[in-house]
Chains A and B, each alone.
Chain A
Amino acid sequence: MITKLMIIIPLIAAIIVPLLHKRFKTIHIGWFVLIIPTILFVMLLRFIPLISSGRTFTHTWDWIPSYNISFTTYLDGLSLLFALLITGIGSLVVLYSIFYLSKKESLHKFYCYLLLFMTAMLGVVFSDHLLVLYFFWEFTSVSSFLLIAFWHHRKASRRGAQKSMLITVSGGVAMLIGFLMVAEMTDSFSIREIISIMPTELDHRLFMPAMIFILLGAFTKSAQFPFHIWLPDAMEAPTPVSAYLHSATMVKAGIYLVARFTPIFAMNMNWFWIVSIVGLITLFWGSFNAGKQKDLKALLAFSTVSQLGLIMSLLGIGSIVYVLGYSAETAIYTQAGFAAIFHLMNHATFKGALFMTVGIIDHEVGSRDIRRLGGLMRVMPITFTIASIGSMSMAGLPFFNGFLSKEMFFEATLAIRHLDLHYAASLFVVVAWVASVLTFVYCAIFVAQTFFGTRDLLPKDRVIHEAPKGMLIAPSILAILVVLIFIFPNFFGKYILGSTMLSIYPNMGSIQEMTPTISAWHGFNTALIMTIGVIILGSILYATRKKWSGIYGVLPEKMTFNYLYDLIVEEIQIVGKFVTDLYMTGSLRHYLIYIYLFIFLVVGGYFVKSNSFAIDFSQNAPVEWYEIILMIVMALAAVFIIFAKLRLTAVVLNGVIGLGVAIFFVLFRAPDLALTQLVVESVTTVLFLLCFSYLPEWKVEKSAKITKLINAVIAIGAGVLVVVISFTVLEYSEFKTISGFFENAYELVGGANIVNAILGDFRAFDTMLEVVVLLTAGLGVYILIKSKSKKERNNHENK
């Protein structure tokens, strides 16, 4: 119940915040918003002791029972960790944003979107039902779209928002397909149930497609190679958003999904290969590209990509346990899973801090360009301290939490050697090590280029000073956490991370067995040697980076995925416009022809195919001679309308037909209809005549012969089709008439006129809506006439 409340609270707040904005002009509404995630965070803290003892909480609420969609929330270690990140980092980001965004910005929108995102993200991590999870998943994409495009007057913002939306939503749709396949295989939408059912469905032909589709969703969301291209462009968002969505929470939704689905798919070895290889490629590619960036935020974006790859590959390595089976020897691989979660937490702390310092620099200096920045250490000592703590942690240097998880990562890749994978195993180690060296290099660039050197290239028009105290609170807290986690890793391991192991590895070992003791010093082993190598080679590479930076230009522009994306988007628009222009000609006649052809094809085609034509004259009612005369008159009148020289003639002929119809109504024992038809026909004729006084006399149709011929063919075809189908319908008698029921009208509703009883009582709903239609038409007429465009009004005045 309480988890559901947590999803709903931000949603309600999102609705209230814009109202508050109107009410309180003088107070930054961020202060009100800050309450929400803080309360949620405290509420979640209370769950830690319960969850860490292995308990889980579920609560079900039937949402759409007819489709068997129930809104089940599920709180276990994994969702608790994510929820803590979402609310904890959320509180800090809101606090930071209060100082980052001035009151002149449209804050109500900003906080509304931010709270909506919080709802969506909490929804993702708490949902047990696949479709509900999908709903919230796409909702995070939408809120991310809105937040990236917050400064929507900038073209780059709109472009970045569109790019992230297109890529993540495409992935989301793929994921939905995967979900549906899983549901098809297991006949269940509940993740917990699927986990228990899936081991029996390993040979199902949908198993691999489902795995790949779901991974596509996770990879696009978590910016894995080659879908990482949206993340750097998403940096157009305000920095608090980048810190929150695009490093700490939303991009980790993909990680969450992979962790959540590991028990479902990891029995198949392909899961291990795909997840770990994609993760490693992303790790390398992100860290490689981060080094060439000229914008601090772009550098952090690529570093985020690379770190996400690291976490992903750790999850992949950890999943091998499912193939090998859990035992004392394979427990080392579960530690890879543990390291993934551990690094996830660490990354949120140090990367959040780093983004916030970049925001501070941008805010105070007015530039994020690495080439121009420099020498800020003296003027911004606190920012410098926080930035160096974050960077060193990111580089995996000792005394910061990043060191611990980086060491565990090395150990995990080293452990792969024990598997019988030949050279592939060494590849894991090499890629991990090279990527770490590159990570060291970009961390060095980040700190050194910004804080050391000279300030000569900076804008001269402003005095640069340390950020306001309030702005420093949030990054300071994160920086302190970075150090605290290094000092007390096992405290966090025991209370927060241990229970997540049960989510990734259910039914294997106990929490105690699977939670390793983290120690900063574990002897002079291979992992430590690797770290020392990273520092040495990294320093050399940093010092000589001017010499080798040429390799960034080796890959031509046309070979990048960004170019491919632009090409696809552009081509889709061009092709789309071309195809649409082919048939959307703006000509009413063309559209009508499409409709008629479609009817001919579908209705006529089916009619011919099923060979259902039937005709039977024997049941016909007798015909009187005056009826035949009437028919001839009406038919002639109809044909003459086509050849009428004057529109008045045409309207009178139409009136003649209308009267004829009324007479037929009388003949067919329908007095109500006859009455109505008579009056309607007169009023319609008056209307026509009234409108004629404003419209020009019609001219003889000047069309090409071929056009007229086509029209005639279609017209005759339509007539023939109606006639043929009508004959068949007349003959058809499978369905019995229901009109007998209405003959009880007097007993049922006290009316003797059956038609009226049907209109007023049996089918009063029709009549009611009909009255609404009438009113709409009347108002439409009124508005059409009364509302004149500005242009027309001006014309009148000029006259």
Chain B
Amino acid sequence: MKINDVILRTVVQVVVFIILTIAIYLFFAGHYTPGGGFVAGLVLASAAVLLYLTYDAEKIKKGLPLDFKVVAAIGVTLALTTGVAPVFFGQPFLNMSSISVPFPLIGEKELATVMIFELGVALTVVGVVMTIILSISEGGED
């Protein structure tokens, strides 16, 4: 698939960064406003999809030299670990806890194990969506 479209490429380069920023915003916003691990992961993945549509699978592989299966696996492991970990501290399975930590610039923020759980979810979503899309795009080649 060879598309020589300078405008698309330029726009995409900019847009992808905006999307990535949104994704990160959404990830942290989930606690109080709409957002969260799922959406963040999906948005991240959609950025990658956009890149894929503009360039091709090879380019993305070079630019993002990650095995997305492993990313997904790490995500699931994170989610499972946050689930199982409380058991070892005498708490119920999947019990979430949080502490308030004063950050230098942004003030007092809550650091919760939910965040790790959500991170796991987000990583899984990214990993799985990318695995699926890259697999399909490679499918016809060999």
Contacts and interface: CB of A to CB of B under 8 A. Distances in A.
A and B touch in the complex (CB under 8 A): yes
Contact of A774 (B43, B118, B128, B137): B128
A753 B35 contact: yes
A686 B53 contact: yes
Contacts of B128: 774-775, 777-778
A751 B33 CA distance: 9
Interface string B58-82: 0000000000010011011001100
Contact of A759 (B38, B73, B76, B124): B38
Interface in A736-784: 749-753, 755-756, 759-761, 764-765, 767-768, 771-772, 774-775, 777-779, 781-782
A683 to B, nearest CB: 6
A687 interface: yes
Interface of B: 26, 30-39, 42-43, 45-46, 49, 53, 69, 72-73, 75-76, 79-80, 83, 93-94, 96, 98, 110, 112, 114, 117-118, 120-121, 124-125, 127-129, 131-133, 135-140, 142
Contact of B133 (A686, A752, A764): A686
A195 to B, nearest CB: 46
A781 B128 CA distance: 9
Interface residues of A, number: 40
Nearest 7 pairs between A and B by C-beta?
A: A778-B128, A671-B34, A679-B42, A752-B32, A785-B139, A756-B36, A778-B131
A675 B35 contact: yes
Contacts, number: 137
Given A760-B96, A774-B72, A679 B31 contact: no
Nearest to A672: B34
Contacts of B69: 778-779, 782
A676 to B, nearest CB: 5
Contacts of A671: 34
Nearest to B112: A750
B15 to A, nearest CB: 13
A785 B96 contact: no
A790 interface: no
18 contacts: A671-B34, A675-B34, A679-B42, A686-B53, A749-B114, A756-B31, A756-B35, A760-B96, A761-B114, A767-B79, A768-B80, A771-B75, A774-B124, A775-B127, A778-B132, A781-B132, A785-B135, A786-B135
A715 B117 CA distance: 41
A690 B140 CA distance: 10
Contact of B124 (A691, A761, A775, A785): A775
Most buried by B among A691, A765, A778, A782: A778
A690 B137 contact: yes
B35 A683 contact: no
Given A687-B136, A694-B140, A781-B136, A771 B124 contact: yes
A757 to B, nearest CB: 8
A753 B124 contact: no
A680 interface: yes
Nearest to B36: A756
A752 B131 contact: no
Nearest to B53: A686
